């Protein structure tokens, strides 16, 4: 790494850290603290439980601020260099715009990769822990019904059994419209369907069902009807409820598995698909924002950090407005999920390419 690269990255580091702190504070102050205060007033939540919720909410918020902070860092860093005529001196030394912007784009790519890793390894677990604290320590919710539940049995890192129920009634300890898919080394070997399954004496009992054996070619080998039989699932109703996750609590692998199960049952999966694609598109926004912030920072009027902050807020508002609109359209099935997740980035890449071309001339 050359001295120039280190110098530019050093100029970006301060604004980037400041951006994470500032934007995280905005999210925490306008949303998180309000929710925590409501839990205290409505449920009488203990301070220890509220403190857990606060820390479990931080990973998702911090990752969400990465693109914003990268935009602010590139704007302020190049704005300061431009205002002090250092960019002019660098260009006089024969350095092109692309050479000056190279460390910014590399740093933005690294930030995007880190965000993807955090989104996969940390954020889902934190969100799941948040929901468990909320459900079992604060709300202490009574038994309730859920729809489209999926139960996974994993052995040696591979799916051994997938169980789907169109409806689960925790109060009655019963599942309805049940499908059990059994696998052998990743290959589907058996399918069991039942109208109902009830929890009785520590076992699940399936009622009014049929068993299909699946040949290696995917054809049905044999069918067997039954009135009652034990279901090969050992998890209790409470364990099943605890295992159910929202889209933001799943890893990419879990989202893909969940989508496949729901698609086999002809259940709408657009919400899960949008979440799946956004696991990559939102972190990639760091690189997209760097593409916009770097040429904007070179504009002659960019002499004040307050102007840079104002421009950042406007760009962020436009981006997340577009993202919110297209996320809603994607979840509703009006447009494909992949387009819903990536259109905001595509729009800003086009704008960024125009700004880069203009700055490089």
Predicted local distance difference test score (pLDDT) of residue 306? 66
Domains of the chain, CATH where assigned: 3-139+269-360 (no CATH), 158-234 (2.60.450.10)
Helix axes 3-27, 47-83, angle to 10 degrees: 140
The pLDDT score that the predictor gives to residue 292 is 93
Instruction: Tell whether the model's pLDDT for residue 301 goes beyond 60.
Output: no
Is a pLDDT exceeding 60 seen at residue 136? yes
Number of neighbours of residue 135 by Cβ within 10 angstroms? 13
Question: Using one digit for the tens of pLDDT, what is the confidence trace for 7-20?
Answer: 889 999 999 999 99
More confident site: 67 or 238: 67
For residues 290 and 74, the answer to whether their CB atoms sit within 8 Å is yes
SS3 content of the chain, % helix, strand, coil (to 5): 65, 20, 15
Whole-model pTM: value is 0.85
What mean pLDDT comes out for the span 96-113? 91
- The sign of the CA dihedral 353, 118, 163, 134 is negative
The pLDDT > 90 percentage for the chain reads 59
301: Cα within 13 Å, side-chain hemisphere: 6
Residue 300: pLDDT over 70? no
**Token output for 229:** 């039989």
CA distance 159 to 169: 25
pLDDT for res 339: 96
With cut-offs at 50, 70 and 90, classify the pLDDT of residue 341.
very high
Question: Residue 133: is its pLDDT beyond 90?
Answer: yes
Judged on CB neighbours under 10 Å (0-12, 13-18, 19+), 94 is: exposed
Rounded average pLDDT over 57-81: 92
Strands 158-169 and 145-155: antiparallel
Distance, in Å, from the CA atom of 162 to the CA atom of 151, rounded to the nearest integer, reads: 6
- What is the mean predicted confidence (pLDDT) over 173-200? 91
Please choose, from the candidates 277, 303, 287, 343, the residue with its C-alpha nearest in 3D space to the C-alpha of residue 106: 287
């Amino acid at each position: 790494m050359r001295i120039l690269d280190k110098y530019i990255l050093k100029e970006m580091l301060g604004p980037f850290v400041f951006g994470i702190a500032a934007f995280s504070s905005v999210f925490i102050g306008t949303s998180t603290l309000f929710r925590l205060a409501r839990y205290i007033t409505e449920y009488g939540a203990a301070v220890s439980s509220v403190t857990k919720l606060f820390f479990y909410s931080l990973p998702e918020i911090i990752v969400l601020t990465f693109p914003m902070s990268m935009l602010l860092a590139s704007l302020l860093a190049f704005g300061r260099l431009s205002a002090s005529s250092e960019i002019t001196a660098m260009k006089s030394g024969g350095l092109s715009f692309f050479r000056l912007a190279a460390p910014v784009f590399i740093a933005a790519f690294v930030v995007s990769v880190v965000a993807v890793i955090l989104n996969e390894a940390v954020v889902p677990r934190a969100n799941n822990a948040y929901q468990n604290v909320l459900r079992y320590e604060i709300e202490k919710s009574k038994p309730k019904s859920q729809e489209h539940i999926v139960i996974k049995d994993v052995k040696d890192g591979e799916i051994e059994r997938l169980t789907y129920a169109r409806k689960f009634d925790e109060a009655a300890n019963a599942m309805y419209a049940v499908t059990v898919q059994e696998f052998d080394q990743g290959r589907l070997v058996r399918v069991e369907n039942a109208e109902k399954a009830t929890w009785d004496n520590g076992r699940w009992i399936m009622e009014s069902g049929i068993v299909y054996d699946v040949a290696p070619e995917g054809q049905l080998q044999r069918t067997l009807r039954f009135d009652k039989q034990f279901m090969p699932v050992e998890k209790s109703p409470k364990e099943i409820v605890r295992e159910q996750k929202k889209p933001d609590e799943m890893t990419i692998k879990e989202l893909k598995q969940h989508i496949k199960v729901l698609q086999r049952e002809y259940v709408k999966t657009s919400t899960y698909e949008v979440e799946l694609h956004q696991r990559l598109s939102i972190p990639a926004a760091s690189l997209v924002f760097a593409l916009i912030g770097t040429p904007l920072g070179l504009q002659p009027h960019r002499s004040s950090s307050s102007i840079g902050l104002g421009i950042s807020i406007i760009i962020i508002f436009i981006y997340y407005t577009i993202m919110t609109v297209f996320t809603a359209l994607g979840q509703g099935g009006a447009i494909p999920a992949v387009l819903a997740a990536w259109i905001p980035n595509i729009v800003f890449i086009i704008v960024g390419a125009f700004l880069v071309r203009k700055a490089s001339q």
